[in-house]
Structure 1
Amino acid sequence: MKKWKLAFLLIAGLIVIFIIVTAFNTLTVKSRQPKPHPTKVSINEKEAVNHLSQAVTYKTVSYQERSKIDFREYDKFIAFLQKSFPTVYKQLDFEKVNDYGLVYKWEGTDSSKHPIGLTSHYDVVPILKGTENNWEQPPFSGTVENGLIWGRGTLDDKIGIVGILQAVEYLLDQGFKPNRDMYFMFGFDEEIGGDEGASKIVSTLKQRGIQFEFVLDEGGAIVENMVPGVKAPVGVVGISEKGSASAKLSIQGSGGHSSQPKDHTNIGRIASAISKLEDTQFKGALRGPGNDLFEFVAPEMNFGMKYVFANKVIFKPLIEKILLQQPASAALIRTTIAPTIFQAGEQYNALPEQASAIINLRLMPGDSLADVERFIEETIDDADIKVTVEGSEASKVSSVNSWQFRTVQQSARNVFNHAVVAPYLMFAGSDARQYDPISKNTYRFLPVQITSKDLNRMHGTNERVSIKNYLNAIKFYAEVIKESNK
């Protein structure tokens, strides 16, 4: 047999083997979605809607300048909770931590089991000055109209507090008793870092030796058209938060008159450094929570997309290249670089003697602050530019192969039967990271089905939630409590 025929047969054979193996991988990939057990929780709609509607009328606004916070509104809100949920306050142990942190303990029948914690926060962000008239309904009105509840906090995050307490009140009325301790913990300064709220709650519980199986906070939600190739809505549960750091680049040197500039001025050198960073970028890699996301959604994709992700070992470079083309998906697989502040110069005809820039970075799990600083210094390659990096690293990554994660996933499926529920990496921050030291796992999930426009409303104009979404949130929290105690 001629050599070219032998080579042809060999190549053809390899192609056939490749097709058989990759097709087999695609056809045998198994769904990681538990079978839903549709919830039977029935909520008093009128009462529940009235509670959330009233909750958002209290102006529990957090300000970076803490002296501006009106704690009288916080006192009124706490009094409102006590009046609205009498059975909770009668049967659960309640305490305040640092005056405004709220902790409720529902004692279980088996003290040997580690407890479960559900957490949320009742502070909200301010209304941006000048945008008040852009609201279709006043931001603290709690207006209920056309199936919607309006107001700051309806999504972020009084829906969490009222939803949890409404679920507990329902279960108490049903005579439900948990077999493990349940804690419900509500912070009051999450929007400005949680240092006085969740942080103090954690330190208090840590002193008592409390260790949670998992803590569930706000975070991901159920969004349509989120993952290419998946028609069903996808509910994403945050298993980690990216770190947040600020890198300052600064340079000092001679200034002088602008008529006789050096070839490379202070402004030019800082600008060049930023340009080098944007051109280089951190390496993207499909790993950790980003990889977990596609492990869970791949079985639910159309055949073409499923084929690619079922054979990730082969197509990984292509997948990473595609993900890096869009900001949202790129942020899922790499540490991001975002120059946000540039400061230099005061006079149009005078060269500034110093220049500086601030770069905001969101760190992937596994990338440390030291790694970031070293990357910046090596990339800009300018010994005269001083680099300082401050901030927080990514939170720990919680398990997706455990009964704890499956509890959250099953609860979501029980309420949102047709949703695909998967882990993901949360880009923003939450109080959940504060609980890492006292919890085996921390998860982040807001149990509502929302659009991209709704996401923009959370800290923006016209924040609102549909009554259907709100009632489903209550049902979800009830399901989590029940599923945790099986």
Structure 2
Amino acid sequence: MKKLKLPLIIIGALFLLLLILTMFNTISLKSRQPQPVPFTGTIQEEQAIDKLSKAIQFQTISFQDRSRMKMAEFDRFISFLEQSFPKVHQNLELEKVNGYALIFRWEGSDPAKSPIGLTSHYDVVPVLEGTESNWDHPPFSGTLADGKIWGRGTLDDKIGVIGILQAVEQLLSKGYQPKRDMYFMFGFDEEIGGAEGANMIVRKLNEKGIKFDFVLDEGGAIVENMVPGVDVPVGVVGVSEKGSATAQLTIEGSGGHSSQPKNRTNLGRIASAIAKLEETQFPEDLQGPGEDLFEFVAPEMSFGMKYVFANKFIFEPVIEKILLQQPASAALIRTTISPTIFQAGEQYNALPEKASAFVNLRLMPGESLDDVKNFIEKTIDDEQIKISIEGTEASGVSSVDSWHFKVIQQGARNVYGDTVIAPYLMFAGSDAKHYDSISENTYRFLPVHLTSEDLNRMHGTNEHISIENYLNAVRFYMEIIRESNEQ
């Protein structure tokens, strides 16, 4: 009995020490949210609402086939901006790049300070042909109804363009003078990659030797029920965006009549390769921006969830298992695999001589295109399948500890006082990636409160924004300009 007692005492003591350590870790978590200073400025609300409504009525649609783009609409939109924001055009320098990409420079009083950039885009995606009648209000009407502004671009991303310019117009009317140069940059082809818009803006600014302290673009938003254990809305600020690549898997060989198939056909081998990729998946790892997200929200969680995330060194496998249960959270911690196109065969009774599959992948920061290709080759283990891969790797990861991130937090908290503001990894693409080369940090945040239904409407039917959401976006842009000039 005495021999058994000693190990039990040691085990009990170790358990007690572990319990004390984990409880200490939990209790020691301190909030990383700045204290809000409620917004006290004024906005000419009716004018601001009217401007966004009218902006929606211009059909500045980007098409993959650029010859289909109606550039006259883009010209009309630029003229509309000049008429709608007279103080901006009188007091700021305007430079056009490629005729349609816009750079506004607001000269600061202290040339020793590095500039800040706010950017958005005014092109929109097309309305899917045949769905026009499904809209409650026509997609380019800018209708004001039910406390909302309706139409394509209300969420993505004329709200950013008009919100920024309205904020500047308002500040100018009050005699505000920034200390540092402020740049407001608006692309016209973000929806098709930004090659002629943001990319050329960056080239122009690079030629001038312009280097930003930070650039803020669209991206994350304020959402509810995103993080388990957090009852208040969470505003997520993208500090990086995943890379996007397309892998093509191809096999060629003899076809023949379907009555005499080989045991392994071209189509079967491609199907098997795709099945192996989906069954295997890239390894998960809670690190980088995904880990940062939970470090910022953990102090705001209920006690049980706070205990788990405060002691990640014990519970990380459990946390990762939970995150893998939902596609959105799984994408935070691994490179994703999405088979999108199959190409094979022309005749039902003839074996295809060639079969191909296309797989879209969204790459985690730190994973290269070569890493992805090697993973696919190892997973499918079929030397007869040729693999080619094209795309872009993930952007750099911006700081979450610098004043740059903190002023975004502060600006958002000043407008949305009860909201937790945290970093995250953006899954989609934006113009922000182009600015990485000329900015110390790039962030992605649309300062509006969105529901899951709103997110589905962003490129879909019945896109709209509540008037209060839009006015809060204007308030945020006013705050971010003022906060960044206090640094």
Q: Larger deviation: 13-22 or 100-109? A: 13-22
The aligned counterpart of 1:277 is: 277
CA–CA distance in structure 1, aligned partners of residues 324 and 91 of structure 2: 52
SS of alignment partner, residue 176 of structure 2: coil
CA–CA distance in structure 1, aligned partners of residues 45 and 109 of structure 2: 31
The aligned counterpart of 2:440 is: 440
Q: Deviations over 1:141-177 (max 9, x none)?
A: 1111121010100110000000000000011111111
CA–CA distance in structure 2, aligned partners of residues 41 and 412 of structure 1: 14
Where do residues 5-16 of structure 1 align in structure 2 (5 Å cutoff)? 5-16=5-16
Residue 17 (structure 1) shift: 1.1
Residue 327 (structure 1) shift: 1.0
- Unpaired runs of 5+ residues, structure 1, are none
Residue 247 (structure 1) shift: 0.3
The aligned counterpart of 2:298 is: 298
Residue 244 (structure 1) shift: 0.3
The aligned counterpart of 2:462 is: 462
- Structure 1 counterpart of 2:205, one-letter code: L
SS of alignment partner, residue 331 of structure 2: helix
CA–CA distance in structure 2, aligned partners of residues 224 and 373 of structure 1: 37
Residue 313 (structure 1) shift: 1.0
- Unpaired runs of 5+ residues, structure 2, are none
CA–CA distance in structure 1, aligned partners of residues 395 and 303 of structure 2: 35
SS of alignment partner, residue 332 of structure 2: helix
SS of alignment partner, residue 347 of structure 1: coil
Where do residues 378-457 of structure 1 align in structure 2 (5 Å cutoff)? 378-457=378-457
The aligned counterpart of 2:164 is: 164
The aligned counterpart of 1:330 is: 330
Where do residues 144-293 of structure 1 align in structure 2 (5 Å cutoff)? 144-293=144-293
SS of alignment partner, residue 378 of structure 2: helix
CA–CA distance in structure 1, aligned partners of residues 29 and 95 of structure 2: 49
SS of alignment partner, residue 387 of structure 1: strand
SS of alignment partner, residue 298 of structure 1: helix
CA–CA distance in structure 2, aligned partners of residues 447 and 211 of structure 1: 24
Residue 317 (structure 1) shift: 1.2
CA–CA distance in structure 2, aligned partners of residues 146 and 266 of structure 1: 56
CA–CA distance in structure 1, aligned partners of residues 414 and 325 of structure 2: 35
SS of alignment partner, residue 362 of structure 1: strand
Q: Deviations over 1:408-446 (max 9, x none)?
A: 111000000000000000000000000000000000000
Where do residues 48-63 of structure 1 align in structure 2 (5 Å cutoff)? 48-63=48-63
The aligned counterpart of 1:472 is: 472
The aligned counterpart of 1:358 is: 358
CA–CA distance in structure 2, aligned partners of residues 43 and 62 of structure 1: 31
Residue 322 (structure 1) shift: 1.3
CA–CA distance in structure 1, aligned partners of residues 170 and 388 of structure 2: 52
Scaled by the length of structure 1, what TM-score is found? 0.99
Where has structure 1 moved over 4 Å in runs of 4 or more? none
- Structure 2 counterpart of 1:148, one-letter code: K
- Structure 1 counterpart of 2:12, one-letter code: A
Q: Larger deviation: 383-392 or 3-12? A: 3-12
SS of alignment partner, residue 351 of structure 1: coil
The aligned counterpart of 2:41 is: 41
CA–CA distance in structure 2, aligned partners of residues 183 and 138 of structure 1: 34
- Structure 2 counterpart of 1:401, one-letter code: D
- Structure 1 counterpart of 2:104, one-letter code: Y
Q: Deviations over 1:275-330 (max 9, x none)?
A: 11111110000000000000000000000000000001111111111111211111
- Structure 2 counterpart of 1:453, one-letter code: E
CA–CA distance in structure 1, aligned partners of residues 32 and 394 of structure 2: 26
Q: Number of residues paired by the alignment?
A: 486
CA–CA distance in structure 2, aligned partners of residues 60 and 319 of structure 1: 44
CA–CA distance in structure 2, aligned partners of residues 27 and 399 of structure 1: 26
Residue 348 (structure 1) shift: 0.8
CA–CA distance in structure 2, aligned partners of residues 102 and 32 of structure 1: 36
- Structure 2 counterpart of 1:42, one-letter code: T
CA–CA distance in structure 1, aligned partners of residues 150 and 404 of structure 2: 33
Residue 7 (structure 1) shift: 1.3
Residue 467 (structure 1) shift: 0.6
SS of alignment partner, residue 334 of structure 1: coil
- Structure 1 counterpart of 2:47, one-letter code: E
The aligned counterpart of 2:17 is: 17
Where do residues 129-144 of structure 1 align in structure 2 (5 Å cutoff)? 129-144=129-144
Residue 41 (structure 1) shift: 1.8
SS of alignment partner, residue 424 of structure 2: strand
Residue 20 (structure 1) shift: 1.1
Q: Deviations over 1:332-359 (max 9, x none)?
A: 0000001000111111111111100000
CA–CA distance in structure 2, aligned partners of residues 58 and 445 of structure 1: 24
Q: Aligned residues: percent identity?
A: 69
Q: Deviations over 1:205-257 (max 9, x none)?
A: 00000000000000000001111100000000000000000000000011111
SS of alignment partner, residue 179 of structure 1: coil
CA–CA distance in structure 1, aligned partners of residues 79 and 272 of structure 2: 56
CA–CA distance in structure 2, aligned partners of residues 230 and 17 of structure 1: 29
Q: CA RMSD in A?
A: 0.7
CA–CA distance in structure 2, aligned partners of residues 223 and 12 of structure 1: 43
- Structure 2 counterpart of 1:51, one-letter code: K
SS of alignment partner, residue 96 of structure 1: strand
